[in-house]
Chain A
Amino acid sequence: GQNIDQPTEMTATEGAIVQINCTYQTSGFNGLFWYQQHAGEAPTFLSYNVLDGLEEKGRFSSFLSRSKGYSYLLLKELQMKDSASYLCAVCDSGYALNFGKGTSLLVTP
């Protein structure tokens, strides 16, 4: 089966840096996605990693280590609007996209 783990909740201060971790055990691997979801809204695409290393996109970066089954999403210069759920999703050997349960991030003043 698929197993994707991320912390349930995190809290961080406005202007700070926060790292959201994701570990996975899936049948095969064809890439890892991070999505942002505000309460009651649709998930929106943040990043995609298929090779090891860091992908940077503005204030957001995502890292992947395939040998460790590990990824993280790094958010810099946190803003209040970054309060949301962050979903880790892994594309398996059958190309199905399997989602973790999400990490709820609260940014405080």
Chain B
Amino acid sequence: EAQVTQNPRYLITVTGKKLTVTCSQNMNHEYMSWYRQDPGLGLRQIYYSMNVEVTDKGDVPEGYKVSRKEKRNFPLILESPSPNQTSLYFCASSLRYGGNYGYTFGSGTRLTVV
């Protein structure tokens, strides 16, 4: 089944403890992206990647890192999480960057930082 898989689905962590949220897609998509979703603010892009080893900042990149060493994987790294990073996170992928390819979203990761 074609899908985007995120792990974990739920995570509670403490301030400052490094964490990684994994994202993997099995559709051979070139484009991958991370979003966070907060009440009243909608989906905001954190980072995106147009292909292997090509990443760029979105609208809210502060406090996050990403890497794209392989086409299928696009992990989101929080080096020192803070409470304002408590949010619902979505990974998405698309065949290519641009055009009408649309996005396929992962199931989401609900992160709480205390």
Partner of A101, one of B40, B98, B106: B40
| Interface hit among A17-25, A37-45, A66-74 | A37-45
CB <8 Å contact, B43 and A95: no
Chain A residues with CB under 8 Å of B43's CB are 43, 87, 89, 99
| Residue ID in chain A nearest B100 by CB atoms | A48
Chain B residues with CB under 8 Å of A87's CB are 42-43
| Residue ID in chain A nearest B42 by CB atoms | A101
Interface size class of B (residues with CB under 8 A): 20 to 34
The answer to whether A50 has its CB under 8 Å from any CB of chain B is: yes
Q: What are the interface flags for A30-59 relative to B under an 8 Å C-beta threshold, 1 for contact and 0 otherwise?
A: 110100000011111100101000000000
| Residue ID in chain B nearest A42 by CB atoms | B105
Chain B residues with CB under 8 Å of A80's CB are none
The answer to whether B75 has its CB under 8 Å from any CB of chain A is: no
The answer to whether B64 has its CB under 8 Å from any CB of chain A is: no
Cα A95 to Cα B102 with chains together (Å): 11
Partner of B108, one of A42, A89, A95: A42
Please give 17 more A-B residue pairs, beta carbons under 8 A apart, in addition to A30-B99, A44-B105, A96-B58: A30-B98, A31-B100, A42-B105, A43-B43, A43-B90, A43-B103, A45-B104, A87-B42, A87-B43, A89-B43, A91-B99, A95-B98, A95-B99, A96-B48, A97-B33, A101-B40, A101-B41
* A interface residues with partner B (beta carbon < 8 Å): 30-31, 33, 40-45, 48, 50, 87, 89, 91, 95-97, 99-102
* B interface residues with partner A (beta carbon < 8 Å): 33, 35, 40-45, 48, 58, 88, 90, 97-100, 102-108, 110
A-B contact pairs, 20 of them (CB 8 A): A33-B103, A40-B110, A41-B107, A42-B90, A42-B107, A42-B108, A43-B103, A43-B105, A45-B103, A87-B42, A89-B43, A91-B98, A95-B99, A96-B45, A96-B58, A97-B33, A99-B44, A101-B40, A101-B41, A101-B42
